[in-house]
Amino acid sequence: MNRKGLLINHLRKLDYRLMEDDVYNIANNLREYDDDLILFFNPKGERYEVHSCTFFPSKKATYCVMLVILVFAPGCLHMISA
């Protein structure tokens, strides 16, 4: 199994959810940018995280960045920008 598959299996054991398709097309855009970047949902932290399998399974961290996705109703967005 390649390092990407190993990382996916490792994080799934920790209850992370692999995000292959999403409304904002983030997972696909990450794959186009760098095939080593993988989008997961961390249910314990209730957040989306980008991990890299570049150095996995070494002792180096795989966590890259947390994604914050804000969704506003159109009326709310107008009130915030006003």
> pLDDT tens for residues 62-73?
878 776 665 555
> pLDDT tens for residues 2-45?
889 999 999 999 999 999 887 778 888 888 989 999 999 999 98
For residue 17, which amino acid is it? R
Q: Do the beta carbons of residue 40 and residue 27 sit within 8 Å? A: no
Other Cβ atoms within 10 Å of 51 Cβ, number: 23
User: What residue spans define the domains of the chain?
Assistant: 3-81
For residue 55, which amino acid is it? F
Position 8 scores a pLDDT of 92
Better-scored residue on pLDDT, 80 or 5: 5
Cite the DSSP H helix spans in 1-82: 3-13, 26-33, 74-81
Q: What is the pTM assigned to this prediction?
A: 0.74
| Nearest CA-CA partner of 7 in 45, 64, 66, 69 | 64
